[in-house]
Structure 1
Amino acid sequence: MAAVQANKDMEDQSQVEVGTDALFVGVYDGHKGDAASIYIIDHIFTELLRMIQQNNNSMNEIILRQVVDQMETGFNEFARISFEQHHEVQKSFVSSGCLICIIWKGTLFVANVGDSRAILGSQKGIGKRLVVKQMVSDHSFLNPDIKQEFTELHPDYNNRSRYHSIEVKGLIETSRCIGYAYMKNALFTKRRSFEIPLSEVVTPPFTRPLLSSQPEVFSRVLSDSDRFIIFGSGGFWKLISNEKAARVVNTSPRDRIAERLAMLALEKGAGKRRIKYRDLIEIPKSNCISGNNGNQNYGFRSAYHDDITVIVVYLDQRPYREGVTPKINSYAGYDYAVQQSEFTNFYNNANV
C-alpha cells in the first residue's frame, strides 16, 4: 500500500483487511473534504461482514450493492442531521468514491462508485502473455460514455446546460458518488434555511437527483492464471494507464511496489508541468487549486496531482496454498499501524 497527500487534508482513505480465507480491499476517494471517505472507512467493512453473516456466511453481488447503498443512506442521513440540528451545510457538499473488493473463498467480487479503478493482471497462453482487465467502470466525466449516460438520465430539460454547469464549475468530476446530498435530495434545496453557496449553484429548480450512487459490480472465480490486482484512486489513474501500471508490477520486485507506482505517478504529474520530482515534493499541500480568477495556483501540490492511493495484491499465495496461513490483520493506507481486523470477531461469531 502507498498513499500520497496533495490536499491540505488527506481526502483519500483506504484499508486492507486480511482474513484466514478472505481478503477485503477498500479505496475511498474523498471530494471537497474527508468527511464522506472517513464515514465509509468507519462503517463499510463491519456492515459488509454483518450482511455476509446474515446470508449464512455466503457472499454474492447483491450484498455488494446493498452495502454501498447503506453507505449512501447513512452518510446522507448524517448530512441531514448536521443541517437540521446543527445548521451545518458543509456535509451536503462533500462526497467520496467507493471502490471495494472482497475475495471470498476463491471468488473475486468488486464494486465501484466514482473514478477509482481496479485492474486484474493475468498471464495466459504458452508464452505467459500479460493480459490486463479493468474489472469495473470508472464514472469520470472525462469518459464519453459517462457524459452520454448523464444526459440520458435527464431527458426532460436542457441537460447540456446542466452538465455544462457541473463540469465548468468543477463541482464534481464523477457522475456517481457517495454523498453530495445537495445534488441528490430535494430536502436540501427546497428548505429556505438551506443556503446554497454561489460556487455550488446548478441550474434550478431541483427536479430529480443529478448524481447516482449505483455501483458497477463484477465477480469471477479466480484461476491459476490470475497474478495480481492493482487498486488505485482517481488521482493515480489520471496519471498512469492500466497497461503501464500492470507492466511495472509484472516486471518489478514486489518489495515496495505500491510506493514505486505512486512515485511514477508523481514523476508524471511533475513532468506535465515541466518540473522535476525533487521539486514537486517540496511544494506545500493545499485544499484549493484555484485562485480568484479561476486559474490554477501552481504554488500548491494539488495543481500537479490529486491525493493518490495505490494498493497491489498478489494472488499466487492465497490462503491454504503452499502452507500459507495469513495473519488476521487490518491495514490503513495512510497509517503505518497494524491493527486487529474485524474478521476476528466475524470468525469467532461464526464458530459459536
Structure 2
Amino acid sequence: MFSWLARLALACWGPLARRYAPMSKDDDNSGSGANDALIWCRDLEKHSFGEFSFAVVQANEVIEDHSQVETGRDATFVGVYDGHGGPEASRFISDHLFLHLMRLARENGTMSEDILRSAFSATEDGFLTLVRRTCGIKPVIAAIGSCCLVGVIWRGTLYVANLGDSRAVIGCLGRSNKIIAEQLSREHNASMEEVRQELRSLHPDDSHIVVMKHGVWRIKGIIQVSRSIGDAYLKRPEFSLDPSFPRFHLPEPIRRPVLTAEPSICTRVLQPNDKFLIFASDGLWEHLTNQQAVEIVHNNPRAGIARRLLTTALNEAARKREMRYDDLKKVGKGVRRFFHDDITVVVIYLDHEVLRKNFSVPELSVRGFIDTVGPSNFNTLQGIDSKTMS
C-alpha cells in the first residue's frame, strides 16, 4: 500500500522537486547525495583540534532543524537543534544559546557543567518570554519547541549537554584497531522505559502522564520527548491552548510542568584513542545504529563523511519504503516527510597532535543549511586566564 502511495507521490511531486534549488552542496557525482536538491553540506573544514564535516537534509515544508559549528582559537562548539511544531524554537536556540554560553564563561572565568546548565536555562527563559509576547498574535507558538544537543571541546575536555532525542556518539579505537561506538548523550524520549519510569515517579498523581497512542508512547498522549526548549503549553498553565487547537489540547490544565529544560550533561577528558565525534538529530539514528555510524566514519575518507552518513540513512529510509534513493531524490519537501525526517549530521575529528600543538584556526561560525559563514564570538573569551580553563 505504501509503495503505491510512494509512486503516486513521485508522479505528483517529481516535477516540483526540481524547483527547489540546493542551498549549498558539492556538485561532484560520487553518488553520495549528488543531485539531491534538499541536501546542504560542508564536506571538510578546520576546527581547533582537527577537521569537521557537516551535512543537513530537508524533509519538512519548512526545515525545523537548525545547527551550528563555532570554531575558536581554544575551543570548538557544536549545536544540533531539532525543532517540532515549527522552526521558531530551533532558530531561537541557534541565535541565542551559544552567545549565552560565551557570556557566562567570560563572566565566570571558566567552562563547566554549571555554565552549560545556565546557558540552557537562559535560552529557555528567553524563548518563553518571546512566547509570552507573541502568543496573543500567534497562539500556536506555545506548542513549538526543540530538542537541543550541544558539544563543547575546551582544552582537551569535552562537554556534551542534551535535551530530547538527538544523539552524540564517540568513536574510540579499541583492541586490534577496531573502532568502538560509545554513546555520550542521554536521550529523553517516552519510547524508553527508563524515561517513562522517571515521568511516573515525578507525577505519581497523574495516571495519564504517559499514554500509548497509535502504537507510540507519548507524554499526555501528545509528545514523545520529555525535555525540550519551548513547548510552553506543557510547562506553564498560562500558555494552555484552547480546544481550537485539538492536536495540542489537554483535557485538563497542568498543575505543574510536564516537560523540563534541564539538560543531561556528560564531561569527558579526551584520550588518544578517542578519534571522532558524531552529533546528529534523531532522523539519522532512526536508520543507523551507533556502531554502523562509527564504522562508516572510520572506514571512509574524511571529505564528505557527514554527507555519506546522511545518504546512507536516506538509502535505508528509501529501502524501507520499497524505493530507491534515486526515486526519493525526486520527492519534494513536505511530501518527503513521509519517508524521513529533517536530518542534521556533524562529524568532529579529534587530531591529538593538533591538541598538543595548540594549533590556531580562524574563529568562524558556520550555520547548517542556511549556509552562512561569519566570525565567531569565541573571541570574547580571549581575556580568560587559560589556567582556569584547563
Partner of 1:335: 370
- Please tell me the root mean square deviation across aligned C-alpha atoms, in Å: 2.2
1:72 aligns with 2:124: yes
Q: Which of 95, 115, 136 is matched with 1:42 structurally?
A: 95
Deviations 1:25-58 (A, max 9, x none): 00000001100000000001111001101111x1
Q: How far 1:204 sits from its partner (Å)?
A: 1.1
Structure 1 vs Structure 2: percent identity of aligned residues?
38
Aligned to 1:214, the other structure's residue is in SS state: coil
1:7 and 2:57 matched:
no
Shift in alpha-carbon separation, 1:161–1:256, aligned structure 2, 3 A: closer
Read off the aligned partner of 1:44 and give its amino acid letter: L
Does 2:201 align with 1:149? Answer: no
Q: Aligned partner of 1:47: which letter?
A: H
Unaligned ranges ≥5, structure 1? 287-299
- Structure 1: which amino acid aligns with 2:301? P
Taking the TM superposition and a 5 Å limit, the aligned residue runs for 1:25-174 are 25-56=78-109, 58-83=110-135, 86-125=136-175, 127-159=176-208, 164=213, 167=218, 171-174=222-225
The alignment's TM-score, normalised by the length of structure 2, stands at 0.80
1:159 Cα offset (Å):
2.6
Q: Distance in 2 between matches of 1:182 and 1:169?
A: 12
Structure 2 residue runs without a partner (length 5+): 1-53
Contact 2:213 2:221 in 1 (8 A): no
SS of the residue corresponding to residue 66 of structure 2 reads strand
Counterpart residue type for residue 137 of structure 1 = R
Aligned partners of 1:91 and 1:173: how far apart in 2? Answer: 18
SS in structure 2 opposite 1:167? strand
Residues 318 and 39 from structure 1, CA distance in 2 versus in 1: closer, same or farther, beyond 3 angstroms? farther
- Distance in structure 2 (CA, Å) of the matches to 1:80 and 1:320: 45
- Residues 115 and 139, structure 1, Cα contact 8 Å, conserved in 2: yes
* Secondary structure, counterpart of 1:245 in structure 2: helix
Partner residue in 2 for 1:291:
none
What one-letter code is carried by the residue in structure 1 that aligns with 2:227? R
**How far apart are the structure 1 equivalents of 2:72 and 2:210?**
48
- 1:307 corresponds to which letter in structure 2? D
1:178-218 CA deviation, whole Å, 9 max, x = no partner?
A: 101001101123xxx95651121233132111112111100
The question of whether the paired residues in 2 share the 8 Å contact of 1:72 and 1:213 is answered with yes
Q: Taking structure 1 as reference, are residues 170 and 329 closer, same or farther at Cα in structure 2, changes over 3 Å only?
A: farther
2:312 to 252, 255, 264: 264
| Whole-angstrom CA distance in 2 between matches of 1:264 and 1:54 | 43
Distance, in Å, in 1 between the alignment partners of 2:210 and 2:198 is: 15
Please report how far the alpha carbon of residue 148 of structure 1 lies from its aligned counterpart in structure 2 after TM superposition: 2.1
What is the CA–CA distance in structure 1 between the aligned matches of 2:209 and 2:119, rounded to whole Å? Answer: 32
